[in-house]
Each structure stands twice: as C-alpha cells, then as structure tokens.
C-alpha cells in the first residue's frame, strides 16, 4: 500500500486532547507549491494502478487538484457525491453545483454517487463508519463511504496546510478529524491512493508555508486576516497559470469557520450558512452520539510557524 505521507514525514500520536502532530522538514530548498504538486502527481502517475479518481466537492481545493491533472495531461474521473433526502432534496447542492460547473467548463463527464443521506443517518451506517474511523466530521462520513466503493487511484483534495493567528502568533493548526478519519479509512479498507494530496510530501507542506503570499500574510501585510483560507488560492495560482478565484471567508467575523457549514458565494465573498432541514435531522439522529464520542476525536495540533521555518532553514542549510 502507498505510504499516506511521502517518506512518512508527517506523524501523529494520541487522541482527542492528547493528539499531536510532528513534521520532518525537507533536506533541500523547495520550489513553488505548483511545482511540488506536479512532482507528487507525476510520482503517483508512475506507480498507480487504475485510473485517477478525484473526489470533486466543488471547492477550491479539489478544483486545484483537477486543474493540475488537466495541465499535466493526466486522465482522471471526477467523482461527485450527492447527498439526498427521501423527498429528493439535494442537501449539498450549494457545493456540488460548482463541481458540475467545473465539469461542464472542462468537458468532463463526472461519476455521480447518489447517497440517500436520510437512510445513511437513520440506519446507523454513518455512526458505524464514524466509530470505525474516529470521524467527528459527520458531514464527511458519506464521502468516506463512497471512497470505499471506488476501484481506482483515489485523490482527495481535502485542505492544504492551515495557519491561524492565535494570541498574536501564527500557528500551523491541524485538526485531528482532518487527518485521522481519512487515514483510518484508507488503512482499514486498503484503499489505493492519497487522502492528503495537498500536503502529501514535506516539500509540498513547506512550499505552501514559504509561498510569497503566505510570507506576506504572516509578516503583517494583510492586517485583520486571522487565517490562510482566504490566501490559499493565491498559492494555487502562483506559477501554475491558474486563475482560481480568491475569496474572503466570513462567518461571524472569523476565518476559522465551522467546516460543517456550507458556502454561499456573493460578490466575491464566501459566506457560511447551514442547511436548516439537514441541521434539524442531524440534531434528531446524531447529536446524542457526537456529544458522547466527539471529545475523544477532536484533537488540535498547534505548531509555531516560526519553529517550522527555523527547522526548514536548519535542514536545507546553504543548499
């Protein structure tokens, strides 16, 4: 099975309040984030069995992964997961409509997985898989399920490294549910591919952290910004020729928004709001479960940005 992080540069231990992450820096200077992404994709292409299959949510991250593959001329399936009610409402239409638009623009015929999300919640399937993979991100468990049904080389965009301004200091902030559930899913189901493609290698991790737009952000050039979510598209576009839209993220004045919320794109601002019907059903079927289990799966790792950069330069030296 493919190692989930190249050369196991990223490792984690513990659970819940004791969960932490450790990162090994690269041994040579990094290039642009796009160049390091392209290198990882070429590596995957050379060793893969089966066709690339990208879980396309409609967000910037998975669109970036698809754009890289398109630019490199690598064939892939775009997999769209449609979460539906018994009455035919598509709970995540607010997201996947952007996935459909992307496919239409690029002449891609997507693979569509229609999930009866009411049944998935009420039957206990969601809870069973959540327990099996320590997944506190209940909205992603259906995507984990779909991944277990695929037979190609799975690429999951997920999120790139995330920096947050905490008590005046920039920190690499990683949540346990961003790492562990997908890692457990791939290991337990022996899946082929990468669930953490946007920081698969240490070179990708540090090229993101050292991108000019990130350096500008962390040096105070954009006062008022408290996280990198509204800057990541600039990293994706740097050196790639892409024109992914750069949005400001706003939810109650915070960039560190709740990932269970969904997007409404208005006038270049990406607002967050809930699907009210799904929220009611979630409280009915899942609230009691997550109140019991979630504290054991909700760890947060914080690593000072200055430490990471210091470690990087100590490792690469004058190379």
Tens digit of each residue's pLDDT (9 = 90 or more) over 135-160: 877 778 999 999 999 999 999 988 89
pLDDT at 2: 81
pLDDT at 277: 57
Helix (H, G, I), strand (E, B), or coil: what is residue 130?
A: helix
Domain covering 6-287+303-316, topology: Rossmann fold (3.40.50)
Q: What is the pTM of this model?
A: 0.90
Q: pLDDT below 70 — which residues of the chain?
A: 1, 247-283, 318-319
**What is the residue-wise DSSP string for 185-247?**
HHHHTT--EES-GGGSSHHHHHHHHTSHHHHHHHTTSSTT--BSTTTHHHHHHTTT---PPP-
């Amino acid at each position: 099975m493919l190692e989930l992080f190249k050369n196991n540069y990223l490792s984690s231990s513990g659970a819940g309040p004791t969960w932490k992450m450790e990162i090994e820096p690269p041994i040579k200077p990094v290039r642009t984030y796009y160049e390091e992404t392209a290198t990882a994709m070429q590596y995957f292409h050379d060793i893969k069995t089966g066709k690339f299959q990208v879980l396309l949510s409609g967000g910037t991250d998975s669109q970036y992964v698809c754009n890289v593959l398109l630019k490199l001329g690598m064939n892939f399936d775009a997999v769209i997961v449609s979460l539906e009610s018994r009455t035919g409402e598509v709970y995540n239409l607010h997201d996947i409509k952007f996935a459909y638009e992307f496919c239409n623009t690029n002449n891609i015929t997507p693979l569509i997985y229609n999930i009866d999300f009411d049944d998935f919640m009420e039957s206990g399937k969601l809870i069973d898989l959540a327990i099996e993979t320590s997944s506190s991100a209940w909205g992603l468990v259906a995507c984990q399920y779909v991944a277990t049904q695929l037979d190609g080389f799975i690429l999951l965009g997920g999120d790139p490294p995330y920096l947050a301004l905490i008590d005046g200091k920039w920190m690499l902030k990683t949540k346990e549910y961003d790492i562990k559930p997908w890692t457990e899913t791939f290991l337990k189901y022996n899946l082929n591919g990468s669930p953490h493609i946007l920081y698969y290698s240490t070179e990708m991790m540090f090229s993101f952290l050292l991108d000019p737009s990130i350096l500008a952000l962390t040096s105070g050039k954009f006062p008022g910004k408290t996280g990198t979510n509204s800057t990541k598209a600039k990293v994706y576009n740097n050196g790639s020729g892409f024109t992914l839209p750069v949005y400001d993220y706003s939810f109650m004045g915070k960039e560190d928004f709740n990932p269970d919320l969904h997007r409404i794109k208005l006038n270049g601002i990406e607002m967050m709001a809930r699907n009210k019907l799904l929220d009611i059903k979630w409280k009915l079927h899942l609230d009691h479960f997550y109140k019991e289990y979630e504290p054991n799966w909700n760890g947060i790792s914080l690593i000072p940005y200055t430490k990471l950069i210091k470690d990087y330069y100590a490792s690469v030296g004058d190379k």
